[in-house]
Amino acid sequence: MKSSITPTKQMIRRMEQDVYQESIDCMSDNLAATLIVLNEEFGFGEKRIKQFIEATTRVVKRFRAYKDNEIAREKFCEDLKTIGIDPDEIYFNTNFILDKQDSRVEERNAVSIAEAAQMQKQLELMKKLQEMKVNSIKHI
């Protein structure tokens, strides 16, 4: 007889915390990569990198003022368009990051960063639920 377990509020809270931490780690990795690129490719030194971080913090705070993430995203897109950047290239297409000549990446298989992050979160949650299920069966 198979036993199923319903996740408790505590388990769900823990999973949410894990997903949140994973998101923070991912953002930190992206910031670190950006700072390295600014240094290696554009010659930013310590002073300019610190100025970049401060300016980025101000922009993020400005957009966090919007309670709705979709409105904030729309504002980001508007600002990107004013500086000649197509927001779809950032939000909906990972090919801007990848070498366009890389034959291993096919257009039909490309997913956006947001889609990949969402899939990663779902996989992590599924793994944790599976672990909880296995652990509950062991205790029976």
Q: What pLDDT, on the 0 to 100 scale, is given for residue 82?
A: 95
Domain membership of residue 93 as a residue range: 9-138
Q: What pLDDT, on the 0 to 100 scale, is given for residue 40?
A: 95
Whether 1 maps to a domain, the answer reads: no
Say which DSSP state 107 is in.
G
Whether 3 maps to a domain, the answer reads: no
Whether 23 maps to a domain, the answer reads: yes
Q: What pLDDT, on the 0 to 100 scale, is given for residue 38?
A: 94
Whether 2 maps to a domain, the answer reads: no
Q: Total domain count for the chain? A: 1
Asked whether 107 and 95 are in contact (CB, 8 A), the reply is yes
Q: What pLDDT, on the 0 to 100 scale, is given for residue 3?
A: 60
Walking along the chain (140 residues) 10 residues at a time, the average pLDDT comes out as 70 84 82 92 95 90 77 86 89 57 47 71 74 56
Asked whether 94 and 111 are in contact (CB, 8 A), the reply is yes
Whether 57 maps to a domain, the answer reads: yes
Whether 44 maps to a domain, the answer reads: yes
Whether 17 maps to a domain, the answer reads: yes
The whole-model pTM stands at: 0.53
